[in-house]
């Protein structure tokens, strides 16, 4: 009962936690640029303001895709936190991203189409690495279940260090951070797929971004296994690394991103898999 | 409601250059930079009309840009506020009377706050945005309260007279 309580609480509070992480990240990013930055609860102020705006939708399917994107992402986070099947987690996440791509294609806006194209490209970039990581976790633990990782006596990081580095390399793509933020390049394609959402329907997309934080940091935490201190250390390290990278690098185009992720990150994960299966 | 007080803490700004000389635009960008840092009030330069609250316009309206200006204004969901930034946007400035320019944006869209200067100083822009936030709050309240447009029907003999029951519209918040 007790070991079920914490995941359930985490799942219910996941958007709230993600919002806090996002607010804190905005402060850290501002401090790195020697600015003061917004208050910690700024994402929630945005949330309340967006609820007041007039509802404007392009067509009902478009708004529906946005909401379903949020819901399916929440399911993915739920399965991940409950210790379910990692393959299921990856494919639920894929489903949520493809719903967003469908939403992008369903409007007539050219920016929306461009954003959808680019989101599809980012999917192509990070999804193979995620699958490879899931396969190598299967080879280590003998099960696709996330809960089997926490039962190991040794953290996953010591067995799959290169896979963790590969995860660190694809996280900026997944969380749409510079240098791999072609999908929602803010000055270039004005947010990409989220362009046509407004008011309360944009809120679903905006909150899904917070859920993505929870998803990514849980993936990072998974590499520490049962070692809680190491897990927190990994999460803090990843947080600082992502923000430093976001602040210090310029955007690359999608070809460079694809070449980097499939060439470097994917092969790192694959080498780790080979080493583990041979020795 | 207490939640309502959080509304003006996250104004998202849309910046549109209606054919100006870029002087005011650079000053707007200076507001985002570390010295003035308007993000500490929760303001973001979104670049997306469908998600923004405040329209910051610079430049006299050239004949090419006026349709875009009106279109961008139409795409913003209510409540919304327009700030005309600089002498050109407010009156036409040095471009007034030229064959390719209209004088000022208020000929095409309703303007709530005029910010003077050529180019405007960042302090003035921040001041204008703070004024605009007050107006935004007022507009939100007006949207919230329903307006009763009818008087009571009049009893005339045995008949209930429902003609001419439309009331005149009064401003709710002074």
What are A121-137's pLDDT values in tens digits?
Answer: 899 888 999 999 888 88
**Sign of the Cα pseudo-torsion (A211, A214, A218, A220, in order):** positive
Identify the band that residue B114 occupies on the pLDDT scale cut at 50, 70 and 90: very high
Instruction: Look at the alpha carbons of B29, B31, B36, B41 in this order and tell me if their dihedral is positive or negative.
Output: negative
Burial B131-168 (b: 16+ CB within 10 A, else e): bbbebbbbbbeeeeeeeeeeeeeeeeeeeeeeeeeeee
Q: What pLDDT is recorded for position A255?
A: 87
Among A239, A258, A99, residue whose Cα is nearest residue A171: A239
Q: Which domains does chain B have, with CATH numbers?
A: 8-144 (3.40.50.12280)
pLDDT the model gives residue B4: 64
Cβ A54–B37 below 8 Å, yes or no? no
Q: Identify which of A45, A198, A202 has the shortest CB distance to residue B42.
A: A45
Domain range holding A97?
2-278
Is pLDDT at A161 greater than 80 in this prediction?
A: yes
CB contacts, 8 Å: A35 with chain B: 34, 37, 39-40
DSSP state of A209: H
Q: Which two tokens stand for residue B124?
A: 């003035």
pLDDT band of A95, cuts 50, 70, 90: very high
CB contact under 8 A, B77 and A199: yes
Strand B154-156 relative to strand B101-102, pairing: unpaired
Residue A5, pLDDT above cutoff 90: no
pTM of the model: 0.84
Residues 109-128 of B with CB under 8 A from A: none
Order across the sheet with B113-115: list the strands. B44-45, B12-17, B54-58, B81-85, B113-115
Residue B71's CB: how many other CB atoms inside 10 A? 10
DSSP A196: G
Interface confidence, given as ipTM, is 0.78
Q: A49 at the B interface (CB within 8 A)?
A: yes
- The residue among A239 and A194 whose pLDDT is bigger is A239
Query: Does any CB of chain B come closer than 8 Å to the CB of residue A109?
Result: no
Q: Does the structure show a pLDDT above 80 at B33?
A: yes
Residue A241 is predicted with a pLDDT of: 92
Q: Do A48 and B39 touch (CB under 8 A)?
A: no
Q: Do A54 and B77 touch (CB under 8 A)?
A: yes
Distance from CA of A33 to the nearest CA of B (A): 7
Which among B10, B48, B140 has CB closest to A191? B48
Number of domains, chain A: 1
pLDDT at A70 over 60: yes
- State whether residue A53 sits within 8 Å of chain B by CB: yes
Q: What is the mean pLDDT of residues A203-221?
A: 90
pLDDT score for B36: 87
Say yes or no to pLDDT of B23 above 80.
yes
Nearest Cα to Cα of residue A221 among A236, A239, A209, A234: A234
Verify whether the Cβ–Cβ distance A34 to B48 is below 8 Å. Answer: no
pLDDT mean over B118-122: 87
Separation between Cα atoms, residue B90 and residue B83, nearest integer Å: 9
Residues 184-203, chain A, touching B (beta carbon < 8 A): 186-187, 190-191, 195-199, 202
With CA atoms as reference, the chain A residue closest to B8 would be: A49
Residue B12, strand partner residues: B44
Res A191: pLDDT:
74
d(CA B118, CA B101): 17
Q: Where are the beta strands (DSSP E) in chain A?
A: none
Confidence check: pLDDT of B174 > 60: no
Residue B84, SS3? strand
Structure tokens given for A84:
């379910």
CB nearest to B40's CB, from A36, A54, A56: A36
């Amino acid at each position: 009962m007790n070991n079920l309580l914490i995941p359930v609480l985490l799942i219910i509070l996941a958007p709230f936690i993600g919002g806090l992480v996002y607010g804190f990240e905005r402060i850290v990013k501002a401090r790195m640029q020697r600015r003061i930055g917004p208050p910690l609860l700024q994402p929630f102020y945005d949330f309340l303001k967006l609820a007041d705006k007039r509802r404007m939708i392009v067509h009902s399917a478009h708004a529906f895709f946005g909401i379903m994107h949020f819901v399916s992402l929440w399911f993915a986070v739920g399965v991940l936190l409950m210790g379910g099947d990692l393959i299921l987690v990856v494919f639920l996440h894929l489903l949520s991203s493809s719903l967003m791509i469908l939403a992008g294609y369903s409007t007539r806006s050219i920016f929306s189409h461009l954003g959808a194209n680019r989101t599809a490209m980012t999917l192509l970039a990070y999804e193979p690495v995620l699958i490879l990581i899931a396969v190598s976790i299967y080879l280590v633990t003998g099960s696709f279940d996330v809960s089997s990782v926490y039962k190991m006596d040794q953290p996953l990081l010591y067995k799959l260090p290169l896979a963790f580095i590969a995860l660190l390399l694809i996280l900026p793509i997944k969380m749409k951070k510079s240098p791999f933020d072609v999908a929602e390049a803010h000055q270039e394609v004005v947010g990409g797929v989220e362009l046509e959402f407004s008011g309360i329907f944009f809120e679903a997309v905006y909150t899904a971004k917070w859920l993505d934080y929870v998803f990514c940091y849980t993936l990072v935490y998974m590499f520490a296994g049962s070692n809680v201190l190491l897990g927190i250390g990994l999460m803090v390290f990843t947080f600082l690394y992502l923000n430093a990278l976001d602040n210090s690098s310029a955007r690359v185009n999608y070809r460079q991103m694809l070449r980097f992720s499939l060439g470097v990150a994917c092969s790192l994960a694959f080498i780790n898999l080979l080493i583990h299966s041979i020795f | 409601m207490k939640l309502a007080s959080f509304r003006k803490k996250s104004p998202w700004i849309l910046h549109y250059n209606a054919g100006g000389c870029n002087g005011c635009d650079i000053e707007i960008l200076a507001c985002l930079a570390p010295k003035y840092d308007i993000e500490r009030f929760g303001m973001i330069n979104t670049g997306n009309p469908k998600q923004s609250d405040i329209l910051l316009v610079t430049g006299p309206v050239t004949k090419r840009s006026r349709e875009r200006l009106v279109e961008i204004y139409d795409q913003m969901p209510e409540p919304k506020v327009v700030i005309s930034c600089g002498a050109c946007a407010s009156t036409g400035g040095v471009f007034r009377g030229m064959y390719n320019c209209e004088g000022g944006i208020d000929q095409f869209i309703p303007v709530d706050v005029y910010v003077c200067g050529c180019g405007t100083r960042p302090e003035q822009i921040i001041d204008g945005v703070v004024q605009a936030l007050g107006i935004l709050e007022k507009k939100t309240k007006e949207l919230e309260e329903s307006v009763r447009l009818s008087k009571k029907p009049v009893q005339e003999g045995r008949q209930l007279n429902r003609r001419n029951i439309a009331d005149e519209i009064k401003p709710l918040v002074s």
